[in-house]
Structure 1
Amino acid sequence: MGLREQLIKRLTVADGAMGTLLYDQGFDLCFEELNLSDPEKVKVVHQSYLDAGATLIQTNTYAANAVKLKKYGLEKSVKAINEHAVEIARKAIAETSGVYVLGTIGGIKGFQHEETDFYEIKVALLEQITALIDAGVDGLLFETFYDLEEAKLAVQLARKQTKIPIIANVSLGDIGVLKGGVPLNKALIELYQQGADVTGINCRMGPYHMLRSLEELDLPFDIPLACYPNASLPGYRDGRFVYAANTHYFTAMASEFIDQGVHVLGGCCGTTPAHIAAINQAVALKKPVKRPISTKVVEQKQVDRHQQRKDVSLLDLVKKKQTIIVELDPPKKLDVSQFIIGAQALKDAGVDALTLADNSLASPRVDNQTLAMLVKEKVGLRSLVHLTCRDRNLIGLQSHLMGLDLAELNDLLVITGDPSKVGDFPGATSVYDVSSLKLLPLIKQMNQGISFSGKSLGQSSRFTTAAAFNPNVKHLDKAVRRLEKKIEAGADYFLTQPIFEEDQFEAVYEATKHLNVPIFVGVMPLTSSRNAEFLHNEVPGITLSDATRKAMLACGNDREKSEQEGISIAKSLTDAATTYFNGLYFITPFLRYQLTAELTRYAKMKQPAAARAEERK
């Protein structure tokens, strides 16, 4: 019986984790490099799984592609590493009959949203596929693919090159779904249609959650399934990930996998020869089970709350009329009474919303969500809540966003955030699981009722997302191209860094007028000559004219005179801004809300840009 026939008609025991066993021996760098430097160590792992009863052995090539090998300086050794891996596996099975070698190829995209170019991925996959086929593998195993399109690409590339059997395994974001909310049902069907002989799941989850995912399947074809669960959910002890030694549990769960139509059973992270022996024990007592063929595919449905809330977002507001938002920094101390007084003064002046920074300059301040709720309750003013990627991992970001949505704080400014080293705690960790560019589509995904992991949220969030725009650069066209990328990622509108030159508003308008998104242009009153010199000389991308600096210098140390001069300059900038833009973004310096309140009252008397645009026609 050949490999393809065996995969379809019989239960097959595959091997377990390669990395786990090598890691336990003290090796924690590039496991694939051992194919060249210490092949005997790899062969010993193969032999241990053969002794446990495995009849499918995968090559030690999970990350043996140019993209992943590059970080070790081994991107030129792809062919050699893959060829040696096949040779080692062949030697291991030389004296064992009925055993096959699968060339293993791991997904390049991880669970997070990497920047790797799709063309670069295609080239890397094709190179590794070709190397393994030329080296004489019996079949190919694609595993740990979080992205369905990448997995389909891999199967397509392989099927064009060879007729040998292909097993294609995806990894789940949550029970029953891949990253981005793609149902497992859809993924397995499409991989089968692309030419995979067996489709299935591996990694990230233990047996329990994988079994639940398989139980939800409703497949219209008799697709042979594969399942390679982790040993358990990982624990963390003494700086290392550890997994449960649960071999008896694996015997029982293997039996249940078989009842769900699984034909190929192996192990992933944390599994050992003992786990594979446990699977072998279950397989010896069972026969393949044919899943019932469905006439339908279950679709996920989301509850859309977009029609339930009738409030107008800042995005809707700025499209219709002049809209003023004012940044008022959350305080660094627990007494927020002055902040609330400032918020009330700004509301009385006519601002449409406060913008609340998220620990700006990496210094701890009162939580902006809590302040936004206080402002809403005590002042009756809406808030544009900043959300930085620096302080929370993906778990914390999703949790925070769910809380914001429940509190109906749906206006967000999504930013990457200043690194921790610039703030009060330079030794603190900067998380940066994602950048603002990668967080934007995840928030839009929540607006579709899908969590970061791809699971249903039960109902849709209702966020509008602003992003930052720094026009104070030498090459404005490059900054605009980045703006376009943010729009593609999901940005609905933009807030600029403060602008200090009147003619710059026209330049920004001309550079961005092709974009169908509103822009709130930043204006910040100067407070002193020292403040002006700091901005000019120390803040990247901000340049003040000689005339502005001289005007502030002429005020000397007179605080009142300096503030009045600063307001006068800001009013002139506001005049220029309202010629071209509906959105005004006033930045309050040092909690001096009286300055931005005065500026707001002045702007309210100005004719909005929309009306001026009509006049220009």
Structure 2
Amino acid sequence: MDLLAELKRRILIGDGAMGTLLYSYGVDRCFEELNLTHEKQITHIHQSYIDAGSDLIQTNTYGANYIKLARYGLEDQVKKINTQAVKIAKKAANNDVFVLGTIGGIHGTQASQATNEEVKRSFREQLYCLLLENVDGLMLETYYNLDELTTVLEIAREETNIPIIANVSMHEPGILENGIHLPNALQRLEDSGADVVGINCHLGPFHMLNSFKDVPLPENSYLAAYPNASLPAYRDGKLIYENEPDYFIRSAEDFRNEGVRLLGGCCGTTPEHIKALAKGVHDLKPLTEKKVVKKPSPIEVKGNQNQPITPLLDIVKKRPSIIVELDAPKHLETEEYMESVKALKKTGVDAITLADNSLATPRISNIAIAEKIKQEVGIRTLVHLTCRDRNLIGLQSHLMGLHTLGIHEILAITGDPTKIGDFPGATSVFDVTSFDLIKLIKQFNKGISFSGKSLRQKTSFQVGAAFNPNVARLDKAVERMEKKIDCGADYFLTQPMYSPEKIIQLREATKHIDTPIYVGIMPLTSTRNAEFLHNEVPGIKLTDNVREEMRSVASDKQLSIEKGIAIAKTLIDTALDNFNGIYLITPFMRYEMIIQLVEYIQEKVQLHPVEEVLSITGHNL
């Protein structure tokens, strides 16, 4: 049998979801491992789809690559799992049905730290395993990242001449997450060697059909559609798909009328859905001509309508710059807090930076305090944004809110683990990493949301990133810094440093980097404070000398404060000799200590408050 010859002649029916059926049977583990342990169960599912009318089935290998199997400790079983999967599928097909070797995307909806090289190595390993078993074709499915899909597609095309189906997945109908429109994406896949191009997953029939309306018939390939059964409901901790299979009978002819020649199902679909698709296109000939409905021009993405004052990046590149961290209160009384902000403004600091529930302890929302500061005091704020507390929906909502309020400085960070906070039973989200968050913010600056949808305006965020120099391997930390710069980081804030030698080492390790660095300095208040930071706070280490100095004045509170300020001044001297940015972190709301340090810096560099011509809601800085 010749798959492409059959597609030229008629509409083919694919299979439906493998995972959905396994999940419905109570299986909650690595589905691909079941090729080795539950052969009869996998065979039964394949046979059920064949009996329902599938002309081709996919091997149970969607996540059978090194990277995904490593989550289950199965990374050494790649060959065995893929080989067995093909054998099971071929046995069920019995030479009457095409068998496609399935390879799923790695950079999907969940964050993945895999590099491009790791993705390519993982793909090649799985590809060779499938090709050695002589599959009838390849199915590349659920790729949200078009660059990843074209990369692996080109690798596959170099290695084999068998038919390749390449399916993208979209968060929004008709547009990929990088903002490229579906017709352009499918053309790119065709140009890269795909024999069949299409869509699978996330969207149900309605939105998937709408996505195909402006897709012309390809010149050198065919169209495929593998819709989800419906939007899922969430009940008792499980995802439930409630779509009636009969709906797929009506949808099947609509897909045919959009030019689709390969029609199957994705999440939530069962043999009943596939039976409905087969019934819906029974006796229908493939579409050979299609008039594309021209859609209205894309909405113009306007520039930022709320221009910020001079960004911190421009300041720190020109002169010494001071920012002060003053965390929002843990309670609802804000009067004393606002008085401290006003006092800091008078010293001429460039910004107040606000942590995002530091040490996993709830505080007043930093975006609310930032707006209050902006309205009542009129000083620039730098708002921290963690990956810990918000899912991808919340992060994007938060960014849109910051833009709307005219807050443009953001520090993108991972966030302290919830276990160290007031509510250790709380869960951490981590839909994205700090690297991904930096990329997302920069994508907003292009006027594009995560899903690729137009925001109708470009944001103008400046993105700070965190850097921890208090590590054994500074070179490895600098490598992480360089990756963040590649993602779009504009400047860095370090964890508090307590060693002049470390500051000099940091300068030597980063002298090839032009991106500005704010050196973190937090004055100590007591020996207990010093020991707590050194022994219990992640990312902070004190020298033995500093700890001994604080112990020497342990019996006198005032002397402890003075000693903490003196140590901080020594650190500031070294920092100013090597960097332009000083990041002062206020301990226990003792802003008087910070004011002393700000005045010391200003005297040292002869820096005085400068009035800026731009204002924040009427307040001149």
TM-score, scaled relative to structure 2: 0.91
Give the counterpart letter for 1:522 in structure 2.
Answer: G
| Structure 1 position 542, deviation (Å) | 4.4
- After superposing the two structures, state which structure 1 stretch, 25-34 or 510-519, moved more: 25-34
Is 2:498 the partner of 1:515? no
- After superposing the two structures, state which structure 1 stretch, 200-209 or 25-34, moved more: 25-34
- After superposing the two structures, state which structure 1 stretch, 70-79 or 413-422, moved more: 70-79
Query: Match for 2:408 among 410, 413, 419?
Result: 410
| Structure 1 position 419, deviation (Å) | 0.4
Aligned equivalent of 2:449? 451
Give the counterpart letter for 1:71 in structure 2.
Answer: R
Cα distance 1:340–1:40, how it changes in 2: closer, same or farther (>3 A)? same
- After superposing the two structures, state which structure 1 stretch, 361-370 or 466-475, moved more: 466-475
- After superposing the two structures, state which structure 1 stretch, 474-483 or 460-469, moved more: 474-483
- After superposing the two structures, state which structure 1 stretch, 382-391 or 46-55, moved more: 46-55
| Structure 1 position 595, deviation (Å) | 1.4
User: Whole-Å Cα distance in 2 between the matches of residues 53 and 553 of structure 1?
Assistant: 79
Cα distance 1:434–1:290, how it changes in 2: closer, same or farther (>3 A)? same
Aligned equivalent of 2:2? 2
Is 2:163 the partner of 1:165? yes
| Structure 1 position 320, deviation (Å) | 1.7
User: Whole-Å Cα distance in 1 between the matches of residues 461 and 247 of structure 2?
Assistant: 44
Q: How does 1:316-465 map to 2 (within 5 A)?
A: 316-465=314-463
Cα distance 1:27–1:517, how it changes in 2: closer, same or farther (>3 A)? same
Give the counterpart letter for 2:453 in structure 1.
Answer: K
Aligned equivalent of 1:53? 53
Asked whether the equivalents of residues 35 and 42 of structure 1 are also in contact (C-alpha less than 8 Å), the reply is yes
Asked whether the equivalents of residues 474 and 509 of structure 2 are also in contact (C-alpha less than 8 Å), the reply is yes
User: Whole-Å Cα distance in 2 between the matches of residues 608 and 512 of structure 1?
Assistant: 26
Task: Deviation per CA, 1:141-172: give whole Å up to 9, x if none.
Answer: 22112222332233323323332222111111
Query: Match for 1:525 among 505, 513, 523?
Result: 523
Task: Deviation per CA, 1:476-500: give whole Å up to 9, x if none.
Answer: 3332222112111211101112222
Cα distance 1:376–1:243, how it changes in 2: closer, same or farther (>3 A)? same
User: Whole-Å Cα distance in 1 between the matches of residues 539 and 222 of structure 2?
Assistant: 58
Query: Match for 1:195 among 184, 193, 196?
Result: 193
Is 2:471 the partner of 1:473? yes
| Structure 1 position 519, deviation (Å) | 1.0
Give the counterpart letter for 1:139 in structure 2.
Answer: G
Q: How does 1:552-571 map to 2 (within 5 A)?
A: 552-571=550-569
User: Whole-Å Cα distance in 2 between the matches of residues 167 and 542 of structure 1?
Assistant: 51
Q: Secondary structure of the residue that 1:479 maps to in structure 2? A: helix
| Structure 1 position 571, deviation (Å) | 2.8
Q: CA RMSD in A?
A: 2.6
Aligned equivalent of 2:253? 255
Query: Match for 1:275 among 273, 276, 297?
Result: 273
Asked whether the equivalents of residues 228 and 267 of structure 2 are also in contact (C-alpha less than 8 Å), the reply is yes
Cα distance 1:497–1:36, how it changes in 2: closer, same or farther (>3 A)? closer
| Structure 1 position 502, deviation (Å) | 3.3
Give the counterpart letter for 1:385 in structure 2.
Answer: V
Task: Deviation per CA, 1:410-453: give whole Å up to 9, x if none.
Answer: 10111111100001001110111222122111111111111112
Asked whether the equivalents of residues 65 and 75 of structure 1 are also in contact (C-alpha less than 8 Å), the reply is yes
Aligned equivalent of 1:582? 580
User: Whole-Å Cα distance in 1 between the matches of residues 505 and 91 of structure 2?
Assistant: 68
Aligned equivalent of 1:210? 208
Aligned equivalent of 1:614? none
Q: Secondary structure of the residue that 1:412 maps to in structure 2? A: strand
User: Whole-Å Cα distance in 2 between the matches of residues 502 and 81 of structure 1?
Assistant: 54
Give the counterpart letter for 2:365 in structure 1.
Answer: D
| Structure 1 position 597, deviation (Å) | 1.7
User: Whole-Å Cα distance in 2 between the matches of residues 571 and 314 of structure 1?
Assistant: 23
Aligned equivalent of 1:315? 313
User: Whole-Å Cα distance in 2 between the matches of residues 150 and 268 of structure 1?
Assistant: 20
Cα distance 1:248–1:406, how it changes in 2: closer, same or farther (>3 A)? same
Is 2:499 the partner of 1:501? yes
User: Whole-Å Cα distance in 2 between the matches of residues 249 and 456 of structure 1?
Assistant: 31
Asked whether the equivalents of residues 191 and 199 of structure 1 are also in contact (C-alpha less than 8 Å), the reply is yes
| Structure 1 position 239, deviation (Å) | 1.6
| Structure 1 position 262, deviation (Å) | 0.8
User: Whole-Å Cα distance in 2 between the matches of residues 367 and 378 of structure 1?
Assistant: 17
Q: Secondary structure of the residue that 2:382 maps to in structure 1? A: strand
Q: List alignment gaps of at least 5 residues for structure 1.
A: 610-617
Is 2:26 the partner of 1:26? yes
Task: Deviation per CA, 1:327-355: give whole Å up to 9, x if none.
Answer: 11111101111110110110011111101
Task: Deviation per CA, 1:77-135: give whole Å up to 9, x if none.
Answer: 433433333333333333x85x3222222223322331223333323323333333332
Task: Deviation per CA, 1:518-542: give whole Å up to 9, x if none.
Answer: 1111222222233233334444564
Is 2:594 the partner of 1:596? yes
Asked whether the equivalents of residues 194 and 221 of structure 2 are also in contact (C-alpha less than 8 Å), the reply is no
Q: Secondary structure of the residue that 2:416 maps to in structure 1? A: coil
| Structure 1 position 551, deviation (Å) | 4.5
- After superposing the two structures, state which structure 1 stretch, 419-428 or 23-32, moved more: 23-32
| Structure 1 position 299, deviation (Å) | 8.7
Aligned equivalent of 1:154? 152
Give the counterpart letter for 1:9 in structure 2.
Answer: R
| Structure 1 position 200, deviation (Å) | 0.4
Aligned equivalent of 2:571? 573
| Structure 1 position 316, deviation (Å) | 1.2
User: Whole-Å Cα distance in 1 between the matches of residues 503 and 271 of structure 2?
Assistant: 67
Aligned equivalent of 1:613? none
Give the counterpart letter for 2:136 in structure 1.
Answer: D
Cα distance 1:518–1:19, how it changes in 2: closer, same or farther (>3 A)? same
Give the counterpart letter for 2:354 in structure 1.
Answer: L
Aligned equivalent of 2:489? 491
Is 2:58 the partner of 1:35? no
Cα distance 1:159–1:277, how it changes in 2: closer, same or farther (>3 A)? same
Aligned equivalent of 2:69? 69
Q: Aligned residues, how many?
A: 607
User: Whole-Å Cα distance in 1 between the matches of residues 372 and 33 of structure 2?
Assistant: 57
Asked whether the equivalents of residues 469 and 506 of structure 2 are also in contact (C-alpha less than 8 Å), the reply is yes
Cα distance 1:388–1:73, how it changes in 2: closer, same or farther (>3 A)? closer
Task: Deviation per CA, 1:584-609: give whole Å up to 9, x if none.
Answer: 11111100111112221222222279
Cα distance 1:226–1:598, how it changes in 2: closer, same or farther (>3 A)? same
Aligned equivalent of 2:93? 93
User: Whole-Å Cα distance in 2 between the matches of residues 580 and 145 of structure 1?
Assistant: 45
User: Whole-Å Cα distance in 2 between the matches of residues 77 and 551 of structure 1?
Assistant: 56
| Structure 1 position 390, deviation (Å) | 0.8
Query: Match for 2:286 among 282, 285, 288?
Result: 288
| Structure 1 position 546, deviation (Å) | 5.5
User: Whole-Å Cα distance in 2 between the matches of residues 162 and 462 of structure 1?
Assistant: 46
Task: Deviation per CA, 1:380-436: give whole Å up to 9, x if none.
Answer: 111100111111111111111111111111101111111000010011101112221
Q: Secondary structure of the residue that 2:452 maps to in structure 1? A: coil
Aligned equivalent of 1:176? 174
| Structure 1 position 9, deviation (Å) | 3.4
Q: Secondary structure of the residue that 2:372 maps to in structure 1? A: helix
| Structure 1 position 373, deviation (Å) | 0.2
Q: Secondary structure of the residue that 1:591 maps to in structure 2? A: coil
User: Whole-Å Cα distance in 1 between the matches of residues 473 and 139 of structure 2?
Assistant: 47
| Structure 1 position 46, deviation (Å) | 2.0
- After superposing the two structures, state which structure 1 stretch, 214-223 or 578-587, moved more: 214-223
User: Whole-Å Cα distance in 1 between the matches of residues 70 and 552 of structure 2?
Assistant: 57
